[in-house]
């Protein structure tokens, strides 16, 4: 059953009556927040998020290149790296966050200060670590874009209240703020200050949540939520906390099984129930967080490289501390392609399949995912072939280095000639990576070429 028909069935078609109610009060009388806001807005002005957002026009930035890229914001294949190439880490979140929020119409709906929201975007962007290969502000902006798309084009905005939509979109923006680039296991194993502070439980996710609300409190000029009524702020915080904490992969199977159990029992989530609405928000942000596997292959590969680079960086730090590098984080070992493939098969694929069952308008994600899973099948076969090729060339004296994980990852998908160049090089450092202007896909070049 599609979400829209379900919510109309549960609420008798009167979506506008629910705009400012918390999930807990949805089944009872009109909330105090709703009564207060009703005096400020005529009944006919209360509309669904979809109707409100359809009236919004794009923002003109004044930069032709940026405006051209942002034209693609309503397409699932939107390539955030094209924007990153122009503005780097100093504006991706600002432009994406501002435009998405504008098109959703949420600032206008809640009469929130646009200048404060823009300051908030700049503040959050500065508090992401720009040197992180993966957990940086571009990732935060990309997850927020995914939520935007679910709300605007996936039908989610017709089911969630505007306050839930605001909490979900904002949570996506901040869900990895101040991420140190080393995972929860590293924090706990090393006994970091964060692990001690949060008692080894959802360490980073708790830190991201705390950092978000602390920044709002310490920067009133960026507290765009200050105009919300007190009860709405409390509901927003509850929704944001549960959403951000759900991105901890240690909670993954518990949340997924809870949703699957409800779908098996009823065939749908009962959005008249607060528990099911929370699960819906959690499923949305969890899917948005790791669904690059359901994006066009060039985008997916770029994110995969970021993940692997951050893994290797952590492995290097662990080695420097006298620790054994964690699984998949030792760049000196042969690349374990099957482990990457297994992550998508065990974690991502079941999550996307279940999310699409709840939000059927996003079914196209499954097609992209299947295609990209085929790519990882090829990845695994290619790695095996390269290892065999290297062994043969070493035996013939045509190569003199071990084909490590990092080199293999760069070689994946390259032509036979490029692979031969890398294998015949004196060492892996003679191979580096650049990105083409057209599709952001990686190509091999030799150091000393292209003016380097």
> Distance from CA of residue 223 to its chain's centroid?
23
Contact status, residue 98 vs residue 53, Cβ threshold 8 Å? no
Q: Is the pLDDT of residue 15 over 60?
A: no
Length of the chain: 452
Local confidence band at 373 (pLDDT 50, 70, 90 cut-offs): confident
How far apart (Å, rounded) are the C-alpha atoms in residues 344 and 142? 19
Average pLDDT, the chain: 80
DSSP-derived secondary structure letter, 232: H
* Average confidence (pLDDT) over 96-120: 97
> pLDDT-derived band of residue 294, with 50, 70 and 90 as boundaries?
very high
Most confidently modeled range among 205-209, 342-346, 389-393: 205-209
CA 412 to CA 361: how far, in whole Å?
33
Contact between residue 176 and residue 304 where contact means Cβ atoms under 8 Å apart: no
What is the predicted pLDDT for the residue at 76? Answer: 96
Stretch 12-17: mean pLDDT:
29
Determine which one of 109, 135, 175, 340 is catalytic: 135
Residue scoring higher pLDDT (132 or 21) = 132
For 104-123, the DSSP string reads HTHHHHHT--HHHHHHHHHH
Q: Is the pLDDT of residue 338 over 80?
A: no
What is the reported pLDDT for 52? 53
Q: With beta carbons less than 8 A apart as the criterion, state whether 178 and 292 touch.
A: no
CA atoms within 13 A on the CB side of 257: 5
Span 16-54, pLDDT tens digits: 333 333 333 333 444 443 343 333 333 333 345 555 555
Tell me the mean pLDDT in the region 85-113.
93
Is the pLDDT reported for residue 433 higher than 60? Answer: no
Instruction: Tell me what pLDDT residue 410 has.
Output: 62
Instruction: Give the mean model confidence (pLDDT) for residues 135-162.
Output: 97
**Residue 353 banded pLDDT, cuts 50, 70, 90:** very high
Compute the average pLDDT of residues 354-381: 89
Q: Would strands 442-446 and 431-435 be described as parallel, antiparallel, or unpaired?
A: antiparallel
CB-CB contact of 172 with 288 (8 Å): yes
For 341, the token pair is 């493939």
Check residue 29 and give left, alpha or beta (phi > 0: left; psi -120 to 50: alpha): beta
Give the Cα separation of 301 and 414 in Å (integer). 13
Whether 416 contacts 389, CB under 8 Å: no
pLDDT value for 336:
65
Q: How far apart are the first and last CA of the chain?
A: 57
Sign of CA dihedral 342, 144, 170, 206: positive
Least confident of 18-27, 132-141, 174-183, 299-308: 18-27
253's CB contacts (< 8 A; 6+ apart) are none
Q: What is the dihedral angle through the alpha carbons of 320, 323, 328, 329, rounded to the nearest 10 degrees? A: -10
What is the predicted pLDDT for the residue at 333? 77
pLDDT score recorded for residue 450 = 34
Name the DSSP class of 432.
Answer: E
Q: What is the pLDDT of residues 212-230, one digit of tens each?
A: 999 999 999 999 999 999 9
Residue whose tokens read 């780097």: 88
Indicate the pLDDT class of residue 168, thresholds 50, 70 and 90.
very high
What is the rounded distance in angstroms from the CA atom of residue 94 to the CA atom of residue 332? 38
Per-residue tokens: 302: 């770029």
With 70 as the cut, is the pLDDT of residue 209 above it? yes
**Which residue carries 């990732």 as its tokens?**
139
Task: State mean pLDDT over 149-174.
Answer: 97
Q: What is the pLDDT of residue 313?
A: 96
Would you call 135 a catalytic residue per the annotation?
Answer: yes
Q: Identify the pLDDT of residue 366.
A: 95
- Residues 15/8, Cβ–Cβ less than 8 Å: yes
- The phi and psi torsions of 433 (rounded to 5 degrees) equal -125, 140
Find out whether 173 and 21 touch, Cβ atoms under 8 Å.
no
Say how far residue 90 (Cα) sits from the centre of its chain.
18
Q: Are 292 and 142 in contact (CB under 8 A)?
A: yes
pLDDT tens, position by position, 392-426: 665 666 654 455 555 556 655 455 555 555 555 53
């Amino acid at each position: 059953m599609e979400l829209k028909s379900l919510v109309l069935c549960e609420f008798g078609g009167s979506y506008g009556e629910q705009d400012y109610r918390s999930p807990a009060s949805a089944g009872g009388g009109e909330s105090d927040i709703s009564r207060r806001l009703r005096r400020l807005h005529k009944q006919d002005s209360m509309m669904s998020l979809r109707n409100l957002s359809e009236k919004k026009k794009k923002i003109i930035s004044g930069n032709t290149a940026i405006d051209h890229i942002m034209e693609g914001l309503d397409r699932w294949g939107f390539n955030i790296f094209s924007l990153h190439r122009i503005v780097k880490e100093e504006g991706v979140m600002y432009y994406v966050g501002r435009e998405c929020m504008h098109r959703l119409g949420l600032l206008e709906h809640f009469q929130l200060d646009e200048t404060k929201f823009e300051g908030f975007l700049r503040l959050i962007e500065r508090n992401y670590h720009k040197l992180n290969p993966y957990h940086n502000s571009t990732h935060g902006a990309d997850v927020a874009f995914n939520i935007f798309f679910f709300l605007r084009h996936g039908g989610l905005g017709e089911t969630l209240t505007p306050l839930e939509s605001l909490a979900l979109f904002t949570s996506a923006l901040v869900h990895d703020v101040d991420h140190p680039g080393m995972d929860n296991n590293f924090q706990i194993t090393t006994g970091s200050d964060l692990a001690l502070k949060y008692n080894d439980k959802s360490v980073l996710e708790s830190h991201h949540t705390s950092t978000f609300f602390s920044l709002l409190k310490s920067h009133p000029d960026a507290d765009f939520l200050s105009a919300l009524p007190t009860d709405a702020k409390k509901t927003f915080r509850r929704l944001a906390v549960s959403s951000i904490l759900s991105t901890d992969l240690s909670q993954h199977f518990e949340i997924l099984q809870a949703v699957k159990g409800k779908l098996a029992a009823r065939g749908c989530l009962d959005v008249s129930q607060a528990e099911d609405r929370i699960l819906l928000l959690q499923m949305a942000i969890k899917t948005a967080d790791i669904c690059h596997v359901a994006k066009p292959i060039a985008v997916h590969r770029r994110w995969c490289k970021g993940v692997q680079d951050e893994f290797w960086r952590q492995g290097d730090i662990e080695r420097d501390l006298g620790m054994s590098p964690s699984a998949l984080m030792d760049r000196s070992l042969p690349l374990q392609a099957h482990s990457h493939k297994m992550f998508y098969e065990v974690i991502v694929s079941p999550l996307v399949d279940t999310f699409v069952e709840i939000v059927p308008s996003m079914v196209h994600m499954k097609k992209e995912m299947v295609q990209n899973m085929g790519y990882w099948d090829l990845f695994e076969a290619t790695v095996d072939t390269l290892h065999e090729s290297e062994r043969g060339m070493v035996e013939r004296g045509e190569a003199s280095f071990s084909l490590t994980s990092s080199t293999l990852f760069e070689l994946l998908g390259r032509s036979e000639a490029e692979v031969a160049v890398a294998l015949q090089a004196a060492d892996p450092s003679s191979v580096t990576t650049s990105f083409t202007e057209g599709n952001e896909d990686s190509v091999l070049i030799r150091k000393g070429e292209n003016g380097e």
